[in-house]
Structure 1
Amino acid sequence: MTVAELRDRARRVMPGGNTRSTLFVPPHPPYAVSGAGCVVTDATGHRVVDCNNNYTALIHGHAHPELVAVATEAVAAGSAFGLPTESEVVCAELLRERTGLPSWRFCNSGTEAVMMALRGARAATGRDLVVRFAGSYHGTYDAVVDPAAPGVPGSVADSVVTLPQGDAGALADLLRSRGSEVAAVLLDLMPNRAGLRPADPAFVEQAADLTRRAGALLVVDEVITLRLEVGGLHTRYGLEPDLVTVGKVVGGGFPVGGVGGRAEVLDSFSPLTDGPVSWGGTFSANPVTMRTGTAALRLFGAAEVAALNARGDRLRGELAGRGVPVSGSGSLVRLLLPDPGATWWRLYERGVLAGTNGLLALSTPMTDDDVDAVRDAVLSAVEGAA
């Protein structure tokens, strides 16, 4: 079957032939067939170095032998139960050890993690208002997308305030006038869609102090940035958030989300309390995700984090040295080029799979030679656009 035939079949059963908006590149994206290590092969046989890694989730690339073995064993023992399993306890203990955050709950995606965190913040504070920053992506939940986006009810604007990115003055003004209404300030320390630029430490310190003074909760979104430090990017800033949302690398290649934080905040979900927040999820904390994710995190300790960050820093530095506008930190690199769609195709033709917005996420199977190949493909793609 040709790619055109597969595309036509897809368009007959899915709107535009697509079920993940972030993967669409016109006229239609290629179809993946297999992945091994840091290489993906598409339906035409074209091989690419995977710098998308399912939008940063595949920290160990594709089909890592140890993770395949763990997942296979987990499936064979039962993929999901209407009972808890020890696997979620082990994963929570490991995340507590890595992050210092004492209490954890699991779900199935980063979007759901943010939803859970905001519900918990509202329950814990008895307040309704959420503050977020323009340009930061926190998933597809109504409360954290552009209020003018299609399908978002106008009433959302009554419970969410969006401030300019990195604007401590605007946050101070808002908390001065409406601080008693604010349940949570939602912060991404290096928001991808806002340019993947690390937040100014002075702003972060001010935001944390202002939030605390207002009696609101600081919720840090680490769904993407957890990979940058053993305990997450917030540890680099010396932050002590009330709640942190995670996902991506925590699942070992399977769907996952999680919320960690202060026990007294997450106790709003405890069934041992009066009137707890009820939050289920048929596949939340399923043993396949929990066991494989735990194994993936154990394979990504301090030495592996540092080594992968060093490769990313080298790639970013070499590209910048050749005049390519880039941003990011460690193993996350963002190409700040015009016409990202055309750039995506130029990179793909040259053997590199990037994010549709120019994101490059490295993985542990990559060698220095792989990173060199990515660098050379980017330089060739930029020269080809000139």
Structure 2
Amino acid sequence: MPAPSNRLETIFIDPHPGPRSAELFERARRVFPDGTTRVTIERDPTPCYAAGGEGAYFLDVDGASYLDLNANFTTLIHGHGFAPVASVVERQLHSGTCFANPTEAEIALGTLLCERVPQLERIRFVNTGTEAVMFAIKAARAFTGRSAIATIEGAYHGAYDWVEVTQASTPDNWGPADAPEPVPCYRGMPTSVLEEAVVLRFNDADGAVGLLKANAERLAAVVIDPMPSRAGLVAPEPAFVSALQETARALGILIISDEVLSFRLGYRGSASRYGLEPDLFTLGKIIGGGFPIGAVGGRTEIMSVFDTSRGRPLLPQGGTFSANPISMIAGLAAMEALDQAAFERLEALGDKLRTGLEMAARRADAPFSITGAASLFRIHPKPTPPRDFREAYCSPAEARTMKMMSRFFRCNGIILPDGAAACLSTPMGEAEIAEIVHVFEAFLATRGGREGEAL
């Protein structure tokens, strides 16, 4: 499904959904609370319904093709319909999709991951990133005997109460800079959850050290995404990483590196990229080859809390579809194709794209900046790249600009996530990079791109 040959020469604005997507959304509203089954589905005002995909592009039900920079929230690092995955999955479908018994495929995928990632000595498979984070936190509690958890302000770690406490943070409720407030994510969240949550600001080394020391006796772990997507897709500063790690280690607080999304930042993951040596990891998305998956792993000593060889473990963990053969073989095929050369190529494309976007903003004298690394990038409606969630937080005017930009990209054949990480995939090449930069330049030339006003 290649890009149309005249795509780079055609800039148009048509924000209305296709008739088939509109029809499907009307049907969906009769069975789902808001017409969708995921809060993350973007609508403007109607979701764009997918009919299929090939490589870097997906086709909607109205026949339009789009360059996909969402890739199911960064999951599809090989794009749509990746042949090695499709081939092994087709064969497995005829042999069985799930069993109450282990399979050889789970050993193969687990071995690949443990051999590739430093500090990842033992691993357990689950079904989602949320499950992986949940069991990592439970493992930290079981190992340390403590219950409280520290998280990074604004970071996303799934739908487990103790890591949701800053997902609703705004300037109205996030509290002082040196002591961020835990904020309820939903109505009815138990107050006890807030009492067991400590919130740290990303890249604030002194603040993190102070809060960890003040809460050391009750903290089981710090959960950190080395490059938190929703908190700005900002790189960690070396001083912050070293301060966090040294303090946590001295106080007996475990470090959980949540790489469900950021594992795609390098051949050995994001912790290795930024010099972090975690006690536990959480993985997901790209390790499943496009199928549901999650994993929790880490040091042998800590992972022993799952050990059933001597009876009931300190932490029981199961799951009907955990380590199912479809996800295992798909993940293995995807990860085997992600060799060092594949990551280096993606990084080179990402560097070229980020540079191109930055230069476009500079030439237009437009107040935009770019963050990210490797195959991830994010455009900010701010002249200076943010260092943390508070700096990345969009004002109402900035949020309108981002919505307009996302709409502009979609209307010109590119799916650009609104307010989250965008990603590249292995089927992309120089033509796709040029296309993205070209559409961004066209957006900057509009009134909306220059002033943040409605198109």
TM-score by length of 2: 0.83
Query: Paired residue for 1:361, among 416, 423, 432?
Result: 423
1 CA distance for matches of 2:247 and 2:141?
18
Query: Paired residue for 2:84, among 48, 53, 66?
Result: 66
Matched, 1:331 2:375: yes
Matched, 1:136 2:155: yes
CA contact (8 A) 1:188 1:222 kept: yes
How many percent identity over aligned positions?
Answer: 39
What runs of 5+ residues in structure 1 fail to find an aligned partner? Answer: none
1 CA distance for matches of 2:411 and 2:42?
16
CA contact (8 A) 2:377 2:421 kept: yes
- 2:267 paired residue number: 230
Give how far 1:292 is off: 0.8
What secondary structure is seen at the aligned counterpart in 1 of 2:217? helix
Over the residues paired in the alignment, what is the CA RMSD in angstroms? 1.3
Query: Paired residue for 2:326, among 272, 284, 288?
Result: 288
- 1:104 paired residue number: 123
Query: Paired residue for 2:343, among 305, 319, 340?
Result: 305
Give 1:257's aligned amino acid.
Answer: G
2 CA distance for matches of 1:382 and 1:293?
39
What secondary structure is seen at the aligned counterpart in 1 of 2:40? helix
CA contact (8 A) 1:133 1:163 kept: yes
Give how far 1:260 is off: 1.6
Richer in helix (by share): 1
- 2:104 paired residue number: 86
1 CA distance for matches of 2:23 and 2:201?
45
2 CA distance for matches of 1:341 and 1:10?
23
CA contact (8 A) 1:133 1:166 kept: no
2 CA distance for matches of 1:237 and 1:135?
20
What secondary structure is seen at the aligned counterpart in 1 of 2:94? helix
What secondary structure is seen at the aligned counterpart in 2 of 1:366? coil
2 CA distance for matches of 1:378 and 1:80?
45
1 CA distance for matches of 2:144 and 2:312?
14
Give how far 1:159 is off: 1.6
1 CA distance for matches of 2:360 and 2:21?
36
What runs of 5+ residues in structure 2 fail to find an aligned partner? Answer: 1-18, 166-182, 362-367, 382-397, 451-455
- 2:241 paired residue number: 204
CA contact (8 A) 2:267 2:343 kept: yes
Query: Paired residue for 1:126, among 137, 145, 153?
Result: 145
1:18–1:382 distance in 2 versus 1, CA, 3 Å: farther
- 2:413 paired residue number: 351
- 1:174 paired residue number: 211
Mapping of residues 34-53 of structure 1, within 5 Å:
34-53=52-71
Once the two structures are superposed, what CA deviation does each residue of 1:62-88 show, in whole Å capped at 9, x if it has no partner? 001111001111222111001111111
Mapping of residues 15-26 of structure 1, within 5 Å:
15-26=33-44
1 CA distance for matches of 2:310 and 2:236?
37
Give 2:433's aligned amino acid.
Answer: V
1:273–1:168 distance in 2 versus 1, CA, 3 Å: farther
Matched, 1:221 2:258: yes
Give 1:268's aligned amino acid.
Answer: V
CA contact (8 A) 1:108 1:256 kept: yes
Once the two structures are superposed, what CA deviation does each residue of 1:254-310 show, in whole Å capped at 9, x if it has no partner? 011111200110110111145411111111110110111011001011000010011
Matched, 1:371 2:433: yes
CA contact (8 A) 2:205 2:239 kept: no
2 CA distance for matches of 1:173 and 1:371?
43
Give 1:295's aligned amino acid.
Answer: A
What secondary structure is seen at the aligned counterpart in 1 of 2:73? helix
1 CA distance for matches of 2:125 and 2:85?
20
2 CA distance for matches of 1:52 and 1:2?
21
Query: Paired residue for 1:13, among 31, 37, 51?
Result: 31
- 1:113 paired residue number: 132
- 1:56 paired residue number: 74
Q: Which moved more, 1:234-243 or 1:167-176?
A: 167-176
